[in-house]
Chain A
Amino acid sequence: QAKVQFFPSLTGRTGPVAPNATPFANGYADYMKLVNARGGINGVQTLVEECETAYATDRGVECYERLKGKHGGATVFQPLSTGITFALTEKIPNDKIPMITSGYGRSDSQDGGVFKWNFPLIGHYWVAGDTVLQHIAKKEGGWDKLKGKKIAVVYHDSPFGKELLPIIQERQKMHGFEVQLLPVPAPGVEQKAIWLQVRQQRPDFVIMQTWGVMTATALKEAIATGYPREKMFGTWWSGAEPDLKDVGAAAKGYSAVMMQHGAEPQAAVVKEILDKVHAKGQGTGPKDEVGQVLYMRGVVGAMLAVEGVRAAQERFGKGKVMTGEQARWGYENLDLTQAKLDALGFKGVMRPVSTSCFNHMGSAWARVHTWDGAKFTWASDWLQADEQLIKPMVKASAEKYAAEKKLTRRAPADCQS
C-alpha cells in the first residue's frame, strides 16, 4: 500500500466568503497534486480531503474533529478563518496536531514558547500592519512625515479586524499620526456611514482590514464618495482579484500589502501546475484562476505544509509518513533557503523562511501591489516588518495568554523534542 501523508483542507467554498476562499482551496489542492506528480515527499504521496466550513466557527470545529484522525492522522490544519483558529488553538495541543495560519489567526502565536502548535508562517496581521505603514511612510518620504497626518482604519468588526489594531496603535505612539477607527459590522454590505465619515474627516490615508464582500463594497463606496483610491491601502486579505474584478477600472490605484507573493502568473510553480495538473484535466478550479493572489496563497500554504513534513523526514526518517507531532518539529525547524525555494518553483515569489523554537513565523517580508484597473502590479520593494517592534508585542501578548491559561513557557530543552 502506498504511503500517504494526509493534509486536511478546511474550505469556505460556500457562504459569505466563497469567492475569496475558493481560490485558496483550489491552490492548496492543486499544489498537493503537483507534489504527487513530482513524486511525493520523498516518495510519500500527499492526500487532501476537504471539509466545508462556510466560514463558520462551529462547522470548522466539526470539520477539525472529523478530519483529524482520518487517513492515518492529520498532518497540519490550515483553517483560513480567524474564528476557527481561535477555537482550534485550544484543541490542537491535546491532539498534537500543528496548525499553520499564514497571515491570519493569532499574531501572538508567533511565540513558539507559548504556542507550541501554532505557526503563523511568513506573516501575521501585525506584519501586515507594520509593512503597510512602512510603505505609506516611504511614499511620504519618511516616518517623520507622518506626524500629524490622519489615518483612517476601516476594519471588519470582529477579532479578525481587531487583531490589526495593536500594531497601528503602537506605531501611532511612535510617530504621532492620528488614527481614526472605523469598524464595519459584518457582513459589510452597507458602509455608507463609514465612507461619509471618511469624506468628512478627509483622512490622508485609509487602511483597510476587510475580507470578502466588504472589500468590494468599501471600494464602491469610496468611489461613490469620491475618496481617491490612491490613498487606500488594504492588508493582505483585502487585495485580491475577486474583490476588484467587479469594480474594475474604477478601483485603479488601490494598493494592498501582500504576504510576500502577489498574483504570480509568471512563476515557475504556476507553469508547472498548469503543465502537470491542469493539462491533465486534474485542475481543481478554473484555469484562469491559477496564479491569482488567493490561489497563490493556497499554493504557498500547501508548499509550507509539505516542506515542514520534508524537514521532519530529515530527522525522523526519509520516506516515512510523519505524525502530526513529528511534522510539528518540521515546522519549527523550517529552513527554506532561497535556493530551495527557487528549486521548488517559487523564484521571485518568496523569500527565505527559517523558523525556530521561539519564532514560529520564520519571515516577515511583504510587498505592496497596486491595481491598475485590470490586474495587479508591484508598487514597492520588499519591506520587512520591524522585529524590534513586533517581538515585544508578541511576547507580552503571549505571556498574558500563558498567564490566563496557567501555562508555563517551554523550556529550551523542550525545543529539542
Chain B
Amino acid sequence: MGFFIETVIGGLMSGMLYSLVALGFVLIFKASGVFNFAQGAMVLFAALAMARFAEWFPALLGLDNKLIGNLLAFAGAMVVMVAVAWLIERLVLSKLVNQEGITLLMATLGIAYFLDGFGQTLFGSAIYKIDVGLPKDPLFLLESVFQGGVLVNKEDLYAAGIAAALVIALSVFFQYTSTGRALRAVADDHQAAQSIGIPLNRIWVIVWSVAGFVALVAGMIWGSKLGVQFSLSLVALKALPVVILGGLTSVPGAIIGGLIIGVGEKVSEVYLGPTLGGGIEIWFGYVLVLFVLLVRPQGLFGEKIIDRV
C-alpha cells in the first residue's frame, strides 16, 4: 500500500512536470491556433541561455552570490526569449496570417530546427548545469504507517508547486480578461480577428513571450533535473499526450492531463511492466489517450470540435 501511494505520488510529480511543458503548447494553440512544434526547442533554448548566463554573468560581474547570479541569469534568459518571440512574429508568423494550421505547424518546425542550431552555436552543445538550489534528497513521509515510509522527491515538490501556480495564473488570464478573449478569437479566425482590429502582431509577441516564459520555467526545472543538453528538447514528446488528453485548448486540462498521464504511466510501468517485459510507459500514455479520445474526441476539457453545416 505504501508503495502504491509512493508510485502514485511519483506519477503525480512527473505529471506535473509534463504539464509544465504541455502548458506551452496549450498557450500558443489557444491563442493562435498554432500547434507549436518548437516548444521543445524553446525549452532547450531557454535552459541553455539560463545555464550559460548563470556561468557568464557572475564571472563578468565578479559576483559570487548564487541567488543573485541565478536571478540575473533568469532575467537575461527571459529577455532572450522575448527577443525570440518578437523575431518569430516579425519574420514568420506575420507572413503566414490566415494560413492553415498544418502550414503553421510546419513553420514552427522550421523554427525548431533553427533554434536547435542557433542555441547550440551560441551556447555550446556540451552538458551544462542549472543549479537553482532545489533540494535533491528524498523525503520520507508516513514512516510510522508504512514500512520504509512514502518517498517523495523534494525537488519535484517544488517543481509541482511552481507549475500549479503558473497554471492558475494563466487560466485566470484566459478566462477573465479581454485580452484572453481576444486571444481565443484569434485562434478561431485570424482574418476575422484582424478585421475587428485585434493587432495580431502584438498579440503574438505577447503569447510567444508568455510561452517563452513557460518554456524557461520548464527548462529551468527540467534542466536542473537532467542537466541542460540536447535531450532536454525531447521532453516535448512526453508532453504531447498530456496536451491532447487535457484538450488542446484547456489550460487546466494540461495540468489534469499531466497528472492522469503521470500516474497512469508510473502505475502501469510498475505493476504491468514486469509482466509485459517492461518499457511500456513509452506507449502507455498514448494508448490511454487513444481510448479517452474514443469517448471524448476533444480530450477531457477541450472545446468541442465544431462540426456543422
A and B touch in the complex (CB under 8 A): yes
Residues in chain A within 8 A of chain B (CB atoms)? 13-16, 18-19, 22, 157, 180-185, 187-190, 192-194, 196-197, 199-200, 212-213, 216-217, 220, 223-226, 242, 245-246, 250
The answer, among B10, B14, B120, for a CB contact under 8 Å with A14, is B120
For B120, the chain A residues whose CB sits under 8 A away are 14
B155 — nearest CB in chain A belongs to which residue? A224
Interface-lining segment among B123-131, B194-202, B208-216: B123-131
Q: Indicate if the CB atoms of A196 and B137 lie closer than 8 Å.
A: no
Whole-angstrom distance between the Cβ of B42 and the nearest chain A Cβ: 16
Q: Indicate if the CB atoms of B153 and A224 lie closer than 8 Å.
A: yes
Q: Indicate if the CB atoms of B138 and A196 lie closer than 8 Å.
A: no
For B226, the chain A residues whose CB sits under 8 A away are 189, 213, 216-217, 220
For B238, the chain A residues whose CB sits under 8 A away are 189-190
For A22, the chain B residues whose CB sits under 8 A away are 125-126
Whole-angstrom distance between the Cβ of B217 and the nearest chain A Cβ: 17
The answer, yes or no, to whether B281 is at the interface (CB within 8 Å) is yes
- A216–B222 Cα distance when bound, in Å, is 13
Q: Indicate if the CB atoms of B234 and A16 lie closer than 8 Å.
A: yes
Q: Indicate if the CB atoms of B125 and A183 lie closer than 8 Å.
A: no
Q: Indicate if the CB atoms of A193 and B281 lie closer than 8 Å.
A: yes
For A15, the chain B residues whose CB sits under 8 A away are 230
Residues of chain B from 114 to 168 with CB closer than 8 A to chain A in the complex: 120, 125-127, 129, 136-138, 151, 153, 155-156
Residues of chain B from 194 to 251 with CB closer than 8 A to chain A in the complex: 222, 225-227, 229-232, 234-235, 238
For A196, the chain B residues whose CB sits under 8 A away are 3, 6-7, 10, 266, 270
For this complex, 8 residue pairs linking A to B, each with C-beta atoms less than 8 Å apart, are A18-B229, A19-B125, A19-B126, A185-B282, A196-B266, A200-B3, A216-B127, A245-B129
Q: Indicate if the CB atoms of B230 and A226 lie closer than 8 Å.
A: no
A224 — nearest CB in chain B belongs to which residue? B153
The answer, among A19, A188, A192, A212, for a CB contact under 8 Å with B14, is A192
- A184–B273 Cα distance when bound, in Å, is 11
The answer, yes or no, to whether B89 is at the interface (CB within 8 Å) is no
- A185–B285 Cα distance when bound, in Å, is 13
Q: Indicate if the CB atoms of A18 and B279 lie closer than 8 Å.
A: no
Q: Indicate if the CB atoms of B265 and A193 lie closer than 8 Å.
A: yes
Interface core residue of B126, B153, B274 (most chain A CB under 10 Å): B126
Given contacts A14-B120, A19-B126, 9 further A-B contacts (CB under 8 A): A15-B230, A187-B234, A192-B266, A193-B269, A194-B269, A197-B270, A213-B227, A225-B151, A246-B129
The answer, yes or no, to whether B278 is at the interface (CB within 8 Å) is yes
- A401–B151 Cα distance when bound, in Å, is 47
Number of A-B contacts (CB under 8 A): 111
- A213–B120 Cα distance when bound, in Å, is 16
Interface core residue of B138, B226, B232, B273 (most chain A CB under 10 Å): B226
Whole-angstrom distance between the Cβ of A185 and the nearest chain B Cβ: 4
Given A18-B229, A192-B266, are A245 and B10 also a contact pair (CB < 8 Å)? no
Q: Indicate if the CB atoms of A226 and B151 lie closer than 8 Å.
A: yes
For A245, the chain B residues whose CB sits under 8 A away are 127, 129
The answer, yes or no, to whether B277 is at the interface (CB within 8 Å) is yes
- A197–B271 Cα distance when bound, in Å, is 9
Interface core residue of A16, A185, A192 (most chain B CB under 10 Å): A192
Q: Indicate if the CB atoms of A193 and B10 lie closer than 8 Å.
A: yes
Residues in chain B within 8 A of chain A (CB atoms)? 3, 6-7, 10-11, 13-14, 120, 125-127, 129, 136-138, 151, 153, 155-156, 222, 225-227, 229-232, 234-235, 238, 265-266, 269-270, 273-274, 277-279, 281-282
Q: Indicate if the CB atoms of A181 and B278 lie closer than 8 Å.
A: yes
- Interface of B, secondary structure class, is helix
Q: Indicate if the CB atoms of A216 and B227 lie closer than 8 Å.
A: yes
For A187, the chain B residues whose CB sits under 8 A away are 231, 234
A247 — nearest CB in chain B belongs to which residue? B227
Given A183-B278, A224-B138, are A189 and B234 also a contact pair (CB < 8 Å)? yes
Whole-angstrom distance between the Cβ of A199 and the nearest chain B Cβ: 7
- A48–B153 Cα distance when bound, in Å, is 47
- A22–B129 Cα distance when bound, in Å, is 18
A154 — nearest CB in chain B belongs to which residue? B278
- A15–B113 Cα distance when bound, in Å, is 12
Q: Indicate if the CB atoms of B231 and A224 lie closer than 8 Å.
A: no
The 10 A-B residue pairs whose C-beta atoms are closest, nearest first, are: A193-B269, A185-B282, A183-B279, A213-B231, A246-B227, A19-B127, A183-B278, A18-B125, A224-B153, A193-B266
Whole-angstrom distance between the Cβ of A18 and the nearest chain B Cβ: 5
Whole-angstrom distance between the Cβ of A169 and the nearest chain B Cβ: 14
- A386–B141 Cα distance when bound, in Å, is 46
Whole-angstrom distance between the Cβ of B150 and the nearest chain A Cβ: 11
Whole-angstrom distance between the Cβ of B277 and the nearest chain A Cβ: 7
For A182, the chain B residues whose CB sits under 8 A away are 278
- A15–B14 Cα distance when bound, in Å, is 24
Whole-angstrom distance between the Cβ of A224 and the nearest chain B Cβ: 5
For A13, the chain B residues whose CB sits under 8 A away are 125
Whole-angstrom distance between the Cβ of B167 and the nearest chain A Cβ: 20
Given A14-B120, A19-B125, A185-B282, are A200 and B230 also a contact pair (CB < 8 Å)? no
Interface core residue of B235, B278, B282 (most chain A CB under 10 Å): B278
- A150–B25 Cα distance when bound, in Å, is 43
Q: Indicate if the CB atoms of B126 and A192 lie closer than 8 Å.
A: no
A195 — nearest CB in chain B belongs to which residue? B10
B127 — nearest CB in chain A belongs to which residue? A19
B232 — nearest CB in chain A belongs to which residue? A189
For B234, the chain A residues whose CB sits under 8 A away are 16, 187, 189
Whole-angstrom distance between the Cβ of B106 and the nearest chain A Cβ: 21
For B231, the chain A residues whose CB sits under 8 A away are 16, 187-189, 212-213
The answer, among A184, A199, A216, A223, for a CB contact under 8 Å with B279, is A184
A241 — nearest CB in chain B belongs to which residue? B127
B7 — nearest CB in chain A belongs to which residue? A196
- A273–B277 Cα distance when bound, in Å, is 47
For B11, the chain A residues whose CB sits under 8 A away are 192
Q: Indicate if the CB atoms of A185 and B125 lie closer than 8 Å.
A: no
A217 — nearest CB in chain B belongs to which residue? B226
For B126, the chain A residues whose CB sits under 8 A away are 18-19, 22, 242
Q: Indicate if the CB atoms of A193 and B270 lie closer than 8 Å.
A: yes
For B137, the chain A residues whose CB sits under 8 A away are 223-224
For B151, the chain A residues whose CB sits under 8 A away are 199, 225-226
Whole-angstrom distance between the Cβ of B287 and the nearest chain A Cβ: 14
Q: Indicate if the CB atoms of A189 and B6 lie closer than 8 Å.
A: no
The answer, among A16, A18, A220, for a CB contact under 8 Å with B136, is A220
- A18–B270 Cα distance when bound, in Å, is 31
